[in-house]
Amino acid sequence: MKEIEMSCESHLEYFRESFIKDEEWAVKLLDSWQKFSSKPLISNLLNFGPFTDCLNFQQNLNSSEIQGQHCLISYSSILSHNFDDTSNEYEIDSIIEKETFVLKNGICLPSSCSMSEIENFLRNHLKETDIIVLNSYCQTKEKLSINVLDIFVLFTFIALILITSICTYFDLKYRGKKFNNKFLKAFSAYENFKCLSKYAINERSIECVNGLKVLSAIWIIIGHRMDMISENSNVIREFMSSEERLILRISEMFTSVVDTFFLISGLLVAVKCLRLFKEHNFSFIKHCTARFLRFFPVLAIIIAFFMSTWPKKLANGPQTIEFKEELEDCKKNWLRSLLLVGNFNSNFCLRHTWYTSTDFQLFIISPAIVYGLFKFKRKFLKIIAFIIVVGQINIFVHKLSDIHEEFYYEAYYRFMPWFIGIMLGYNLESKQDAKGIDQNLKALGWTASIISLTLIEFIRFQEKSKFSEALYEATHRIIWSNAFAWIIYACHHNKSSGFLMNFLSHRIWNSLARMCLSIYLVHYLVVMLSFVNMKNPYQFDVLWLLKILLLDIFMSLIISFIFYMLVEAPMCRIVKTFERKNYYVLVENR
């Protein structure tokens, strides 16, 4: 066997010669390529090929070695456009998006080839065809060493487990013996589980928000999974069955469901602040510090875990590029996310953490708004309504203009549901002794809520003009928030009857509602790890889909429970030692 230089070109040439000679290793390497489908748009939009076999492929030569490298190639076919050297990337992407389908195929090539060499190699061999190679993402089999951050993350989890175990032991041993160490109780698993499962009916509490919080969290889990499925499914939406398209459309509403969280947060903050104002016991420093300390430890551990190599050790598949892209953002923006300012200009680490930044910023300004209501009563409602209208006009103008600014994550885009929650909280708190709702008002409220929710979600999927799109963007979150504000208002003032009230206020939601922060922050990593570890593309079968979604929900709840017991619950109890005993009156551990 002749000596082979360790270069991409020489390896590819040697591979070609060996295949012509029908040598076993060359045939085996080519066999690991994913074959093009005869009906790609119907059945084979995304194919990974034998990912594991490719990474494990190895062929020893005289002076070098051919190691397998799995490459996921994105390509498309455009018949009606010719691109010259002056065509920019935006122009090509816009045409591809509108007029063609992007297909992805997995191939196996020598690891000595760079991604640019592979793309040039494929373009040269496909230049006589209508296939356009867009980009590639390649992976080789690599051994991940343990770095300092890995050790820190591992040590942190071990330390949390040991501290929780020791504190639980001493709490149980000295229980009832006049031993009341607050630190031990804060980390006691027994004490935290007892508080988590505690169910006490309070006439002043708004129990129905528990069900809404948990159902919203589950909807968001489903939405993030379906978002990944729709982008990486083997089936194009136009070729899906009506049932599959319906499931996909319902799941896509999760972007509006986030506004339910903002609505509830505004509601709870308003009631809490109003009660503290009445007692002349409000402290702005305590108000902000408590919220920051609630978010910071949970965020810090999740971000540190993601930036370590542990996720890569747990999941490895053809689409680890998702990890790579998120990791690059984290390297630049991890501090911004920890300081809860990551939503500014969309500079955050882990895309779902924008919520904690926006929540914290709205939480900070809430006391000023609530104090206006406390001082000027209903007169101040007009000012809040005016601010909301100004916010709507601002969004409308931005969407209508040519300013392509990303403001989805900004606080000034999300404050409207929060302010509606504050107005709702003021109404509920000022009408504690009010009797049930008038039957005519009840019928009108439910009819308006159902029609408005149905209408805005129907319009969401319709093609709209630029003006209509701007109008929809400016109004649909207000309509959504008002509809759910009515649901909360009606349920709270109709406690004696009503299936919806009984369902949303059921004690089963009580414990899960206390875990909502952990569920929200943990679920994205659970879904992403599962997605990255996928070796075969989604087939989008309804039964298979149901199994995947239930598994996502189950795993998110289990891991969130562990995370809550180790991190969130102890931190909440420590923070509460600096506050009044009944600081959170509505829903404990909000």
Rounded Cα distance between 126 and 132, Å, is: 8
Q: Look at residue 273 in the predicted model and tell me its pLDDT.
A: 94
Contact 569, 196 (CB under 8 A): yes
Q: CA-to-CA distance for 362 and 368, rounded, in angstroms?
A: 11
Express each pLDDT in 315-358 by its tens digit: 788 888 777 888 888 888 899 999 999 888 777 888 899 999 99
pLDDT score recorded for residue 91: 47
Which comes out higher in pLDDT, residue 492 or 337? 337
166 falls in which pLDDT band (50, 70, 90)?
Answer: very high
What local confidence, expressed as pLDDT, does residue 42 receive?
46
- Determine the residue type at 295: F
The pLDDT score that the predictor gives to residue 311 is: 87
Give me the percent of the chain exceeding a pLDDT of 90. 32
Q: What is the three-state SS of 131-198? A: EEEEEEEEEECCCCCCCHHHHHHHHHHHHHHHHHHHHHHHHHHCCCCCCCCHHHHHHCHHHHHHHHHC
The string of pLDDT tens digits covering residues 24-59 is 777 777 766 655 554 444 445 677 777 888 888 887
Closest CA to 405 of 351, 480, 330, 344: 344
Residue 4 has pLDDT above 50, yes or no: no
Compare 450 and 63 and report the one with higher pLDDT.
450
Q: What is the mean pLDDT of residues 158-167?
A: 95
Tell me how many degrees the CA angle 423-425-426 measures, rounded to the nearest 5.
65
Cα atoms in the Cβ-side hemisphere of radius 13 Å centred on 523: 26
CA–CA gap between residue 485 and residue 428 (Å, rounded): 11
pLDDT band for 525, please (50, 70, 90 cuts): very high
**What one-character DSSP code corresponds to residue 437?**
P
Across the range 235-252, mean pLDDT stands at 64
pLDDT at residue number 271:
92
Separation of alpha carbons 526 and 126, rounded Å: 39
Find the mean pLDDT for residues 278-304.
Answer: 91
Mean pLDDT across the stretch 399-413?
A: 72
**C-alpha pair distances (Å), 450 with each of 479, 486, 487, 500, 507:** 11, 10, 10, 13, 26
- Helical H segments across 236-378, by residue range: 242-251, 254-278, 284-307, 310-314, 321-338, 354-376
In the predicted structure, residue 103 carries a pLDDT above the cut 90: no
How far apart (Å, rounded) are the C-alpha atoms in residues 248 and 102? 20
In the structure, what pLDDT confidence band is assigned to residue 81 with cuts at 50, 70 and 90? very low
Instruction: Give the DSSP per-residue string, 492-518.
Output: HT-TTS-HHHHHHT-THHHHHHHTHHH
- pLDDT exceeds cutoff 50 at 95: no
Question: Which of 304, 323, 310 lies closest to 532, judged by CA?
Answer: 323
Could you tell me the pLDDT band of residue 561, with boundaries at 50, 70 and 90? very high
Residue 590 has pLDDT above 80, yes or no: no
pLDDT of residue 36: 54
pTM, two decimals, is 0.85
Tell me the average pLDDT of the chain.
81
| 314: three-class secondary structure by DSSP | helix
Strand 65-77, strand 58-60: pairing: antiparallel
Give phi and psi for 321, each to the nearest 5.
Answer: -60, -25
Per-residue confidence (pLDDT) for residue 235, from 0 to 100: 54
Asked if residue 569 has pLDDT above 50, the reply is yes
pLDDT for residue 1: 41
Residue 45 to residue 239: CA distance in whole angstroms: 11
Per-residue pLDDT, 233: 60
Per-residue pLDDT at 426: 93
Q: What average pLDDT does this structure show over 299-313?
A: 91
